[in-house]
A and B are shown apart, each in its own frame.
Chain A
Amino acid sequence: MKNIHKGLIASVAVASVLSLTACGSGGTNDKSTTSPNATGSSDAPTPQSITISYPADHQSFDPTKTVTAIDGAMFGQIGGRLTSLTIDGKIENELADTITMSDDFTSAIVTLKSGLKFSDGTEIKPSDVAATFTRDMKVDGSTIASLTANFKAVTATDSEVKFEFVAPFPSFPSAIAADGAMIFPEAGLAQGDSFFDNPISAGLYKLDGAWSGNSIKLVANDNFFDGKAPYQEITFTSLADSNAVVSQMKSGQIQFSADLPPSYLEQFKGTDVATSFAPGFGFYDLRLNNRVAPFNDANVRNAINLGIDREALVSQIWQGNNEVQGGFWPRTLSGYDAKYNTARDVEGAKALLKGTECENGCTVKLMYSEADFPFANQVVLLVQNQLKDIGINIELDSVDQPTLIDRLVSGDFQMAPGANNSGGAFPDKLINDALLSSSGISAEFTGYNSPEMDALVKKVVNSNGSAREAAEQEVGALFEKDRPFVTYATRVRGQASSLPADKIAIVGSSLVIAADK
């Protein structure tokens, strides 16, 4: 009997050790394998067929009806757009030959390159562009409304497309590079919703059949006007479980994976999978409900700003492979100013709390959802620990994601970790969503309402060049004073890849595959 006991104990012990190895993020911190821009090697042989995984689910091939990252990534490959993002982060004309903005930025004339074809071989005409954007503008509850709300009318002649805007829109050339701003044939759109079961556009790839299980195949579009696809076939697969992604990458079933949690990237150490964090055009923040105590007091909000240790957050969550952010603008946008990345100042925070509701300590509820961020648990525990030092006691309030969104929208919270970002290297969406009092999400859900900031937001969005840069600096300064929420790091997206980094990478918030030219 003793021997049986020993055998059982040994089996359980082995099982436990193996399971911990399989489940855990494991290992020590080694920056050499999880470093920014360390993805892939150009010398690696190029496979003909690759598989890309995203944790998000497919919603629709209609860009006005989806917000998920996997749909955005597919739109980036199958969609022909007037402008597009290159793999080195630049915006360049794609289908557009010229884009001429009016002097007051209230209209733009776009001409198309000659000989352009959709993936079915039909010619791309200006009327297709006008039909696409006119249809996008009319869709109720559109998920690309932040772009199309800028348009008053889009009309076409035989040779050009005219965009008229409701207000000056200098970011137009950058904004239309968004994944969802793809062009469809007018005749296809006339078919109604059924067209989007298998839409036709003019990207580097085209759809090859429908979803099979959680996967769908794209094949090279031979009618693409500007080079050849580096991979003949791409399979997009939606895979929510990060452990499953890691296993399938290690076994070679998946070659590129986006949006993996930071702690999982460490599991690729010692493999041929390179990992990196692609900086996006946004930030991670702590949303403070400005409508309710104690965060209706700017001094308490500023005390939180001084009380958190950004270096520790970045070091713990991204193992140092991200950068701290203390101001409004992320390092990827032009308004960025490093002077706002202040170090932790516990005494300064305590001084700010004098005369506030939290002078002798206070308790605040921090609402979060594990599904919102893969590292939500880490953030809330670290913040809870850090704010204890300035007398703010954090009570954690864990909810599921739909509840989180409900309560954020209705303002039923005190504090919550969050993130926001712009669709590209232009400030419009970020500043509108995060600071404008009339934005759909009430200034990053905080309820912040400053007429002065509203005016500055309009100034940034409606201006260009040095005038915009000056306005961005003013926004940065006012944000520092009012501190409606607390930023702590630049928004990044974890990627793991066994493919060359000059062929496929996440740039900002888009998946970019470079054509062979």
Chain B
Amino acid sequence: MGTRALRRIASRVGQSLVTVFVVCTLVFAMIRLIPGDPVLQILGNEASPESIKALRSQLHLDGSLLQQYGSYLSDLLHGNLGASLIQRGRPVSEIISSSVTSTLTIALFGLLLGVLVGMIAGIWGAVTRRKVVNVGVQAFSILAYATPTFLFALLLVLVVALMWGLLPAGGWPGGFVQSLPYAILPAIALGVNLAPKFLRPVRQEAIDVQDTLFMEAAISRGLPRRKLNLSHVLPNSLLPLVTLVGISLGGLLTNAVIVEAVFGIPGLGSELSKAVAQRDYPVIQGITLLMSVTVIVGNLLAETMYQFVDPRARVQ
């Protein structure tokens, strides 16, 4: 890789750091601008002016916004995400580490499934001569794209878990191996929703590849169809996947929040929605920071990898 490319990557890393800083600042400000007081959430009917004052001071919410922001940034630079206000002193890093496994498991399996289904169906739809397969792939693509994730997740619970009793209806026992059966339906729900996003560009790319001159040359040399598809169509059709996977991370995490709710999975999404509902500022800040860093790093990696896999990008 040339100096120019390295400089370009360094510049993108710098931009990403600025974006993370802006996200942190915006989230900090926005959650404090909306109405709602975590102290009142904690005290409930036991709130009295004295107890409110005492608790606000105990939770360090009595300082000015600027003081609180300064202390947040200082903690952040020291790698400290703070402690939950509602779960009284529980470190945010502990909340994240206990919930990230389930989210990562279902998101990664969902992504893997989405990529595999999208890739196979996309290429199959492009290279097949059987009209019924082509129409079937397109119908699947439209249906999967149009069906909301929550709806498909509910259908999976109803049919696979309750009617057929094949898999658990939800929950997350903890421990990676024990939890694997619990990850299957959520991953399918995520993967099926994601697949059309990969399927259509891959299919289009595969169709375009078949019209190229090098394909015509390969056909004229008498290469068998299977070899043509595996050696020429497949590798050349997968380029869009590199960027699409990076771009889809944001949507994947959003859908994971929905899927976690349907299956009652204690993941990052459910922690975030609880924290927002209870105005647990440090937890909201910690999880949004993690999610935004994930999306930004995902995009950065996709862009960087593209430089490696596509020589044209390096030349340009």
Which residues of A line the B interface, CB within 8 A?
Answer: 4, 7-8, 11-12, 15, 18-19, 21-23, 57-60, 62, 65-67, 140-146, 193, 211-215, 237-241, 243-245, 247-248, 250-251, 253, 371, 399-403, 405-407, 409, 420, 433, 439-441
Task: Indicate if the CB atoms of B99 and A406 lie closer than 8 Å.
Answer: no
Determine which of A11, A251, A405, A433 lies in contact with B165 in the assembled complex, contact meaning CB atoms within 8 Å.
Answer: A251
Task: Indicate if the CB atoms of A371 and B157 lie closer than 8 Å.
Answer: no
Which residues of B in the span 251-283 have a Cβ within 8 Å of any Cβ on A? 261-266, 270, 274, 277-279
Which residues of B in the span 164-179 have a Cβ within 8 Å of any Cβ on A? 165, 168-175
Determine which of B38, B161, B270 lies in contact with A240 in the assembled complex, contact meaning CB atoms within 8 Å.
Answer: B270
Which residues of B in the span 188-222 have a Cβ within 8 Å of any Cβ on A? none
Task: Indicate if the CB atoms of B86 and A253 lie closer than 8 Å.
Answer: no
* Given A248-B171, A402-B277, A407-B35, residue A440 in contact with residue B139 (CB < 8 A): no
Given contacts A15-B155, A214-B172, A399-B35, 13 further A-B contacts (CB under 8 A): A7-B139, A57-B86, A59-B88, A62-B88, A67-B44, A141-B39, A143-B44, A211-B98, A238-B266, A243-B262, A247-B162, A402-B36, A440-B48
Determine which of B49, B99, B277 lies in contact with A213 in the assembled complex, contact meaning CB atoms within 8 Å.
Answer: B99
Q: How far is the CA of A441 from the CA of B48 in the complex (A)?
A: 7
* CB-defined contacts of B279 to chain A, threshold 8 Å: 402
* CB-defined contacts of A193 to chain B, threshold 8 Å: 89
Q: CB-nearest residue of chain B relative to A429?
A: B45
Task: Indicate if the CB atoms of B143 and A145 lie closer than 8 Å.
Answer: no
Task: Indicate if the CB atoms of B47 and A409 lie closer than 8 Å.
Answer: yes
B133 within 8 A of A: no
Task: Indicate if the CB atoms of B168 and A253 lie closer than 8 Å.
Answer: yes
* Given A214-B266, A241-B264, residue A400 in contact with residue B36 (CB < 8 A): yes
* CB-defined contacts of B309 to chain A, threshold 8 Å: none
* CB-defined contacts of B147 to chain A, threshold 8 Å: 15
4 tightest A-B CB contacts, nearest first:
A402-B36, A141-B55, A212-B174, A214-B266
Q: How far is the CA of A245 from the CA of B88 in the complex (A)?
A: 26
* CB-defined contacts of B48 to chain A, threshold 8 Å: 145, 439-440
Determine which of A141, A211, A245 lies in contact with B264 in the assembled complex, contact meaning CB atoms within 8 Å.
Answer: A245
Interface class of chain B by DSSP: helix
Task: Indicate if the CB atoms of A11 and B46 lie closer than 8 Å.
Answer: no
Task: Indicate if the CB atoms of B155 and A253 lie closer than 8 Å.
Answer: no
Select the residue from A65, A243, A407, A433 with max chain B CB neighbours within 10 A. Answer: A243
Q: CB-nearest residue of chain B relative to A149?
A: B48
Q: How far is the CA of A407 from the CA of B40 in the complex (A)?
A: 11
- With both chains docked as a complex, state the minimum distance between the C-beta of A333 and any C-beta of chain B, in angstroms: 17
A-B pairs with beta carbons under 8 Å apart, 30 shown: A8-B143, A62-B88, A66-B88, A140-B51, A140-B54, A141-B42, A144-B46, A146-B45, A212-B174, A213-B174, A213-B265, A214-B172, A238-B266, A244-B264, A247-B158, A247-B170, A251-B168, A251-B169, A253-B169, A253-B170, A253-B171, A399-B35, A400-B36, A402-B38, A405-B36, A409-B40, A409-B47, A420-B45, A440-B48, A441-B45
Q: How far is the CA of A263 from the CA of B162 in the complex (A)?
A: 20
Q: How far is the CA of A346 from the CA of B47 in the complex (A)?
A: 37
B104 within 8 A of A: no
B142 within 8 A of A: yes
Task: Indicate if the CB atoms of A11 and B173 lie closer than 8 Å.
Answer: no
Task: Indicate if the CB atoms of B151 and A19 lie closer than 8 Å.
Answer: yes
Determine which of A12, A67, A245 lies in contact with B43 in the assembled complex, contact meaning CB atoms within 8 Å.
Answer: A67
* Given A8-B142, A405-B36, A407-B35, residue A213 in contact with residue B266 (CB < 8 A): yes
Contact mask B118-140 → A, CB, 8 Å, 1/0?
A: 00000000000000000100010
Q: How far is the CA of A420 from the CA of B46 in the complex (A)?
A: 12
* CB-defined contacts of A59 to chain B, threshold 8 Å: 42, 86-88
Task: Indicate if the CB atoms of B274 and A240 lie closer than 8 Å.
Answer: yes
Task: Indicate if the CB atoms of A402 and B158 lie closer than 8 Å.
Answer: no
Q: How far is the CA of A124 from the CA of B142 in the complex (A)?
A: 67
Q: CB-nearest residue of chain A relative to B53?
A: A141
B37 within 8 A of A: yes
Q: How far is the CA of A233 from the CA of B122 in the complex (A)?
A: 50
* Given A8-B143, A253-B169, A401-B277, residue A213 in contact with residue B89 (CB < 8 A): no
Q: How far is the CA of A241 from the CA of B150 in the complex (A)?
A: 12
B58 within 8 A of A: yes
Task: Indicate if the CB atoms of A440 and B88 lie closer than 8 Å.
Answer: no
Task: Indicate if the CB atoms of B51 and A239 lie closer than 8 Å.
Answer: no
- With both chains docked as a complex, state the minimum distance between the C-beta of A231 and any C-beta of chain B, in angstroms: 18
* CB-defined contacts of B51 to chain A, threshold 8 Å: 140-142, 145, 440
Determine which of B47, B57, B155, B261 lies in contact with A244 in the assembled complex, contact meaning CB atoms within 8 Å.
Answer: B261
Q: How far is the CA of A250 from the CA of B170 in the complex (A)?
A: 11
Which residues of B in the span 48-64 have a Cβ within 8 Å of any Cβ on A? 48-49, 51-52, 54-55, 57-58
Which residues of B in the span 218-235 have a Cβ within 8 Å of any Cβ on A? none
B292 within 8 A of A: no
* CB-defined contacts of A62 to chain B, threshold 8 Å: 88
* CB-defined contacts of B43 to chain A, threshold 8 Å: 67, 141, 143, 440
Determine which of B36, B172, B261 lies in contact with A406 in the assembled complex, contact meaning CB atoms within 8 Å.
Answer: B36
Q: How far is the CA of A67 from the CA of B46 in the complex (A)?
A: 9
B10 within 8 A of A: no
